């Protein structure tokens, strides 16, 4: 399926195969973000069509989380068995089915929408792990940090999907038509590009045979380094997810700014994060992972504290910029660290993603629960505390000395 050379052939960082794989990985990240944001942009119309209240809508949207939670722990086994290219291809097709089912189902009732969103969440979870695995392969072949730029591509995809969705709403394009077209386009583009993915395991064994360890996707759950990287990613994912969900609300309710300025604060957060992810690779290559992520964690802590305790809205606005910049590289660096040994990348990235994504699920309700007691603005201090934890355990993302050096597994109880 791939036009890349056989796994036993060393690749030059400037070879056509590596350049094609880099473009294909960008396409996978952008396509994932574009598809998901396209759905998110039409949630209000689906809600109105089905006449759902806030609690009912929340339960419907929970289907996405349920699908993702099921897919993430299984995706390491799947990627280890069939490879990241085939996994992305299969999950793109499944995402297309799920998105179309949810779109067409919105004209029928709640049940088909829930089924479609479950498939969408499952496909998105496994796709996420597979494209991150391929990202670590490309990064290894290039010999320099690039993972955070792939994640910046995801962010750009979400912006494009949201803008196109806004245009579709303005033009009164039906949800079913809009999302069905998006599903077809995303599947076609991803299938076209994913064929250029590189093999997940580059052979360096003396006998020319692949050295993919059996059970690596399961044993990764017993590796102390992998689990600590998962906690590291969870802390940064919490900072990112809470920023996405609560900055606007906290700015409006806590700093008493207008709705427009609250939205502007959120836009500033996203912009700072995207800029950090795009320009971060140069810093990582020059100074190394650990010093950079520790410095960014400190910047993020300063940003959160400034946002929460700023005496004026404009200082709070500066805080959102620092918060976004400080949160930018933790997640992609964790993915890179999970893929340091390509032979075990699938299992480790799956474990790290499974732990990290818990923050995206737990963050919104946790801040909401605390917000009922101490206000949303003050509840955001939790973000600073978790970034402090990430700084303390940042040494876990230090590159392995050799790609073949696995983390020591925990002893079985």
Q: How many CA atoms lie within 13 A of 407 on its CB side?
A: 29
What pLDDT band is residue 306 in, cutting at 50, 70 and 90? very high
> Does residue 42 sit in helix, strand or coil?
coil
Task: Identify whether the C-beta of residue 140 lies closer than 8 Å to the C-beta of residue 345.
Answer: no
Mean pLDDT confidence for 15-29: 92
What pLDDT band is residue 371 in, cutting at 50, 70 and 90? confident
- pLDDT at position 230 is 93
- pLDDT at position 315 is 94
Contacts of 105 (CB under 8 A, 6+ apart): 111, 112, 113, 115, 116
Is 216-397 the same fold as 16-194?
Answer: yes
Q: Is the C-alpha dihedral spanning 147, 159, 306, 241 positive or negative?
A: negative
- Whether 201 shows a pLDDT value over 80: the answer reads no
Is the CATH number of domain 16-194 1.20.1250.20? yes
- pLDDT at position 382 is 93
- pLDDT at position 14 is 57
- Whether 10 shows a pLDDT value over 80: the answer reads no
Per the prediction, the chain carries an average pLDDT of 84
Is the model more confident about 364 or about 114?
114
- pLDDT at position 408 is 42
Mean pLDDT confidence for 293-306: 96
- pLDDT at position 165 is 86
Q: Which of 248-257, 346-355, 384-393 has the highest mean pLDDT?
A: 384-393
- pLDDT at position 51 is 87
Is the model more confident about 250 or about 406?
250
Q: For the chain, which residues make up each domain, given as ranges?
A: 16-194, 216-397
Instruction: Give CA–CA dist 261/265, Å, rounded.
Output: 6
What pLDDT band is residue 257 in, cutting at 50, 70 and 90? confident
Is the model more confident about 44 or about 154?
154
Least confident residue range of 115-124, 149-158, 302-311: 149-158
Least confident residue range of 252-256, 299-303, 393-397: 252-256
What pLDDT band is residue 177 in, cutting at 50, 70 and 90? very high
Q: Which of 76-80, 345-349, 378-382 has the highest mean pLDDT?
A: 378-382
- The two tokens of residue 233 are 């990613």
Instruction: Give CA–CA dist 96/182, Å, rounded.
Output: 8
Mean pLDDT confidence for 202-216: 48
Please tell me the total number of residues recorded for the chain in this structure. 413
- pLDDT at position 242 is 84
Task: Identify whether the C-beta of residue 220 lies closer than 8 Å to the C-beta of residue 76.
Answer: yes
Instruction: Give CA–CA dist 30/270, Å, rounded.
Output: 16
Task: Identify whether the C-beta of residue 226 lies closer than 8 Å to the C-beta of residue 351.
Answer: yes
pTM: 0.78
CA 79 vs CA 45, 75, 263, 266: distances in Å: 36, 6, 39, 35
Contacts of 85 (CB under 8 A, 6+ apart): 1, 2, 134, 194, 195, 197
- pLDDT at position 11 is 54
Cite the DSSP H helix spans in 106-172: 110-142, 147-170
Exposed/middle/buried for residue 64 (C-beta within 10 Å: 0-12, 13-18, 19+): buried
What pLDDT band is residue 12 in, cutting at 50, 70 and 90? low
Q: Distance between terminal CA atoms of the chain? A: 43
CA-angle at 125, arms to 362 and 340, nearest 5°: 95
CA 156 vs CA 24, 27, 160, 167: distances in Å: 15, 11, 6, 17
- Whether 163 shows a pLDDT value over 80: the answer reads yes
Question: How far does Cα 170 stand from its chain's mean position?
Answer: 29
- pLDDT at position 164 is 87
CB atoms within 10 A of CB 408: 10
Mean pLDDT confidence for 183-188: 94
Instruction: Give CA–CA dist 246/250, Å, rounded.
Output: 6
DSSP 8-state secondary structure symbol assigned to residue 207: T
Is the model more confident about 265 or about 290?
290
- The two tokens of residue 406 are 């696995």
- Whether 333 shows a pLDDT value over 80: the answer reads yes
Task: Identify whether the C-beta of residue 337 lies closer than 8 Å to the C-beta of residue 399.
Answer: yes
Please give the CATH superfamily to which domain 216-397 belongs.
Answer: MFS general substrate transporter like domains (1.20.1250.20)
- pLDDT at position 330 is 93
């Amino acid at each position: 399926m791939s036009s890349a050379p056989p796994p036993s052939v060393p690749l030059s960082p400037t070879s056509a195969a590596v350049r094609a794989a880099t473009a294909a990985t960008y396409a996978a990240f952008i396509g994932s973000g574009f598809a998901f944001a396209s759905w998110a942009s039409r949630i209000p119309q689906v809600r109105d069509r089905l006449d759902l209240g806030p609690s009912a809508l929340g339960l419907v949207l929970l289907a996405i989380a349920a699908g993702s939670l099921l897919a993430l722990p299984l995706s390491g086994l799947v990627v280890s068995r069939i490879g990241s290219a085939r996994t992305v291809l299969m999950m793109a097709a499944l995402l297309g089915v799920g998105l179309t089912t949810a779109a067409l189902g919105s004209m029928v009732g709640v049940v088909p929408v829930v089924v479609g969103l479950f498939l969408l969440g499952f496909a998105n979870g496994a796709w996420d792990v597979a494209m991150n695995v391929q990202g670590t392969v490309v990064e290894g072949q290039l010999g320099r940090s690039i993972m955070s730029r792939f994640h910046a591509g995801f962010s750009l995809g979400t912006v494009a999907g949201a803008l196109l969705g806004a245009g579709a709403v303005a033009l009164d394009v039906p949800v079913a038509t809009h999302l069905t077209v998006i599903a077809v386009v995303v599947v076609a583009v991803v299938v076209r590009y994913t064929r250029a993915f590189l093999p997940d395991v580059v052979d360096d064994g003396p006998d020319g045979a692949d050295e993919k360890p059996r059970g690596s996707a399961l044993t990764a759950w017993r590796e102390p380094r992998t689990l600590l990287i998962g906690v590291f990613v969870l802390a940064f994912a919490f900072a990112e997810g809470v920023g996405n969900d609560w900055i606007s609300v906290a700015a409006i309710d806590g700093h008493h700014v207008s709705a427009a300025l609250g939205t502007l604060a959120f836009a500033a957060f996203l912009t700072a994060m995207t800029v950090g992810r795009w320009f971060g690779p140069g810093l990582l290559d020059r100074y190394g992972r650990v010093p950079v992520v520790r410095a960014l964690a400190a910047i993020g802590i300063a940003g959160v504290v400034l946002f929460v305790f700023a005496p004026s809205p404009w200082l709070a606005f500066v805080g959102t910029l620092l918060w976004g910049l400080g949160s930018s590289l933790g997640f992609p660096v964790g993915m890179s660290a999970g893929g340091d040994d390509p032979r075990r990348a699938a299992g480790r990235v799956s474990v790290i993603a499974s732990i990290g994504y818990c923050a995206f699920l737990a963050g919104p309700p946790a801040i909401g629960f605390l917000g009922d007691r101490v206000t949303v603005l003050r509840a955001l201090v939790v973000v600073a505390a978790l970034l402090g934890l990430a700084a303390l355990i940042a040494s876990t993302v230090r590159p392995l000395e050799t790609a073949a050096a696995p983390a020591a597994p925990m002893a079985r109880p």
